[in-house]
């Protein structure tokens, strides 16, 4: 009897905590673009599908990004991702910065590190086929082989 009542109290406490945690403010931002990168349309389409949710200001916030505590993890990933590589700020990067980011992208692709596995699990459409992967790697290589015409300031 006493255990029944305890279980009931514990249940109510859990639900109350799950509701209360929704009240912690999280900021899901989509700031204006500062100049996106110019890539061939098929490369851009792949990047948009597989990378833009965390590496641009055009994030498509999924339903679970509105439910704490998962929302905290999603927002953290997006903020971290944008800090590393932001395709919506590409126009603002110095040429030397762009090259460095392109090198990172090539490495992340070769290592199969991006998009992250937990994201691929939730977004089957973001998975890269072998052909997507090869096309992206080729694009990175070509971009790195082209000497920059812009002079860095």
Rank residues 33 and 123 by Cβ distance to ligand HEC and give the closer one.
123
Rank residues 11 and 116 by Cβ distance to ligand HEC and give the closer one.
116
Minimal distance, residue 75 CB to ligand HEC, in Å: 11
Longest dimension (CA), the chain: 79
The CA distance from 91 to 94, in Å, is: 8
Minimal distance, residue 85 CB to ligand HEC, in Å: 5
Rank residues 33 and 137 by Cβ distance to ligand HEC and give the closer one.
137
Query: Can you give the binding site for ligand HEC, defined by CB under 6 A?
Result: 50-51, 53-55, 77, 80-81, 84-85, 104-105, 107-108, 113-116, 119
The CA distance from 101 to 109, in Å, is: 12
Report phi then psi at 149, rounded to 5: -85, -20
> Is residue 6 a contact partner of residue 92, using CB atoms and an 8 Å limit?
no
Rank residues 21 and 80 by Cβ distance to ligand HEC and give the closer one.
80
Minimal distance, residue 113 CB to ligand HEC, in Å: 6
Is the sign of the CA dihedral 53, 54, 55, 61 positive or negative?
positive
> Is residue 55 a contact partner of residue 85, using CB atoms and an 8 Å limit?
yes
Minimal distance, residue 22 CB to ligand HEC, in Å: 22
């Amino acid at each position: 009897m006493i255990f029944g009542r305890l279980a009931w109290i514990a249940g109510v406490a859990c639900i109350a905590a799950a509701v209360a945690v929704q009240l912690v403010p999280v900021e899901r931002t989509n700031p204006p673009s500062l100049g996106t990168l110019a890539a061939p349309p098929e490369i851009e389409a792949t990047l948009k599908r597989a990378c833009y949710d965390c590496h641009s200001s055009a994030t498509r916030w999924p339903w679970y990004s509105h439910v704490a505590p998962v929302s905290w993890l999603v927002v953290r990933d997006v903020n971290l991702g944008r800090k590393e590589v932001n395709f919506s700020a590409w126009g603002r990067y110095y040429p030397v910065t762009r090259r460095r980011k392109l090198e990172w992208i090539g490495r992340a692709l070769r290592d199969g590190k991006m998009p992250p596995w937990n994201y691929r699990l939730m977004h089957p459409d973001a998975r890269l086929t072998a052909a997507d992967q090869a096309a992206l790697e080729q694009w990175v290589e070509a971009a790195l082989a082209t000497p920059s015409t812009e002079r860095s300031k």
